[in-house]
């Protein structure tokens, strides 16, 4: 059986953290490191960390942030510590400090990891109508969007119980985000690093209506959904440049030879918008550069450009002639939106695809 580390970020924990640590120490789970990160807890919570230190088990390591930096920052601190000090550990499990993840659930996730050591294992809670509204808010609203973008079936996007392969943990250290959006990015970008997400059903335990959760619904939800905007904004900006230039050229070239005007306007507008799109994609969206991506993007651009021109001309012919010069614009919007969806899939999976990081 592989060696595992357990990482628990904690902000103002109570006795439940002590109970969880004690259960882990007494369990048969092969834990070689138990790292607790105090994320700037109040003075009133410091006795809890002192009692942890008093357990005098060499597997327990307590790290401290001077101020509250967020759950994502606490996880990164713990990940970095484990990677640097425990080279034998192949899987790092994360758990919440409030006791909502029983040790049996962790054992089940580790069992899954033993069978799928390259996968990101998540403990998927089973949701019912009794779930507190704050947790329903995040999960119900995000899981369909996550499934659409990642093409992975994820039913619980906010679970804190995960077992992460060491190779993916190395990549996580470079991820942006200091708070709960970091955990969301971990799921959203897994496919990019060829990491499959495997779910392990676990019981759902909420203590006092989940009052111990430090998930700030409005602010952290905005931060989470900002991740989606990063993927969409590049295409939107390029689309607006493309459509604006296209309509301008259609108007400037007069009323004769509509088919030829459409082709010329498509080529010019697409060339300029492609420069904008590639720059945003390789620097902001996908974060990958190099000559190979330029070549592949160029091939996609040429195919997409001629497809756009041909299909726009075709769809324009289907529209009523009463639409006048607006007809090509309507057709282009419909055609290019469809091509945008297809292009995103190709860029994500073929052009800007990243290989799994070295272990």
> What is the pLDDT, as a whole number, of residue 355?
55
User: What range does the domain containing 41 cover?
Assistant: 3-215
Residues in the chain: 359
pTM over cut 0.75: no
CATH (domain of 207) = 3.90.550.10
Q: Is residue 359 part of a domain?
A: no
> What is the pLDDT, as a whole number, of residue 14?
93
Q: What is the pLDDT of residues 46-98, one digit of tens each?
A: 999 999 999 989 999 999 999 999 999 999 999 999 999 999 999 999 999 98
Instruction: Give yes or no: residues 253 and 178 share one domain.
Output: no
Instruction: Give yes or no: residues 131 and 269 share one domain.
Output: no
Q: Is residue 247 part of a domain?
A: yes
Instruction: Give yes or no: residues 265 and 208 share one domain.
Output: no
> What is the pLDDT, as a whole number, of residue 48?
96
> What is the pLDDT, as a whole number, of residue 110?
97
Q: Is residue 65 part of a domain?
A: yes
DSSP-assigned letters across all residues of 285-304: IS---SHHHHHHHHHHHHHH
> What is the pLDDT, as a whole number, of residue 91?
97
Instruction: Give yes or no: residues 160 and 268 share one domain.
Output: no
Q: What is the pLDDT of residues 315-354, one digit of tens each?
A: 888 887 655 567 788 888 889 888 877 887 787 677 876 5
The DSSP H or E segment spanning 36 is strand 31-39
Domain end (from 192, 215, 238): 215
Instruction: Give yes or no: residues 68 and 207 share one domain.
Output: yes
> What is the pLDDT, as a whole number, of residue 287?
58
Q: How far apart are CA 94 and CA 35, in angstroms?
A: 10
Please name the residues in contact with 258: beta carbons below 8 A apart, sequence gap of 6 or more: 316, 328
What's the token pair of residue 70? 């967020």
Structural domain total, the chain: 2
> What is the pLDDT, as a whole number, of residue 214?
47
Domain end (from 215, 241, 271): 215
Instruction: Give yes or no: residues 211 and 95 share one domain.
Output: yes
Nearest C-alpha neighbor of 65 from the set 86, 46, 48? 46
Name residues of the chain where pLDDT drops below 50: 209, 211-212, 214-217, 220, 357-359
Instruction: Give yes or no: residues 138 and 183 share one domain.
Output: yes
> What is the pLDDT, as a whole number, of residue 125?
82
> What is the pLDDT, as a whole number, of residue 336?
84
Domain end (from 155, 183, 215): 215
Please name the residues in contact with 252: beta carbons below 8 A apart, sequence gap of 6 or more: none
> What is the pLDDT, as a whole number, of residue 96?
93
Q: How far apart are CA 316 and CA 112, in angstroms?
A: 54
Instruction: Give yes or no: residues 246 and 176 share one domain.
Output: no
């Amino acid at each position: 059986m592989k060696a595992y580390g357990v990482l628990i970020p904690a902000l103002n924990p109570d006795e439940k953290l002590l109970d969880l640590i004690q259960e882990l120490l007494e369990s048969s789970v092969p834990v070689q490191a138990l790292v607790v990160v105090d994320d700037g807890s109040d003075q009133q919570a410091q006795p809890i960390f002192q009692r942890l230190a008093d357990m005098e088990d060499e597997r327990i390591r307590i790290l401290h942030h001077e101020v509250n930096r967020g759950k994502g920052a606490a996880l990164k601190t713990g990940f970095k510590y484990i990677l640097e000090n425990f080279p034998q550990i192949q899987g790092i499990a994360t758990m919440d400090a409030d006791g909502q993840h029983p040790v049996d659930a962790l054992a089940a996730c580790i069992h899954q990891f033993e069978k799928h050591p390259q996968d990101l294992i998540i403990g998927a809670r089973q949701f019912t109508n009794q779930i507190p509204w704050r947790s329903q808010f995040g999960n119900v609203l995000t899981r369909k969007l996550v499934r659409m973008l990642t093409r992975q079936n994820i039913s619980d996007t906010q679970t804190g119980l995960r077992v992460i392969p060491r190779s993916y943990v190395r990549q996580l250290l470079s991820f942006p985000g200091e708070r709960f959006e970091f955990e969301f990015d971990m799921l959203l970008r897994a496919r990019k690093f060829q990491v499959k997400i495997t779910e392990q059903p676990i019981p759902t335990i909420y203590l006092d209506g989940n009052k111990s959760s430090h998930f700030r619904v409005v602010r952290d939800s905005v931060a989470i959904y900002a991740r989606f905007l990063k993927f969409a904004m590049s295409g939107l900006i390029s689309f607006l440049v493309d459509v604006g230039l296209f309509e301008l050229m259609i108007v400037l070239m007069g009323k004769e030879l509509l088919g030829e005007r459409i082709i010329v306007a498509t080529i010019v507008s697409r060339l300029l918008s492609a420069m904008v799109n590639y720059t945003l994609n390789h620097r902001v969206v996908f974060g990958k550069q190099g000559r190979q991506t330029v070549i592949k993007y160029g091939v996609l651009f040429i195919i997409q450009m001629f497809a756009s021109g041909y299909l726009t001309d075709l769809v324009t012919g289907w529209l009523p002639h009463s639409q006048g010069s607006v007809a090509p614009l309507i057709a282009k919007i419909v055609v290019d939106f469809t091509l945008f969806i297809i292009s995103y899939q190709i860029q994500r999976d073929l052009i800007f695809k990243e290989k799994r990081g070295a272990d």
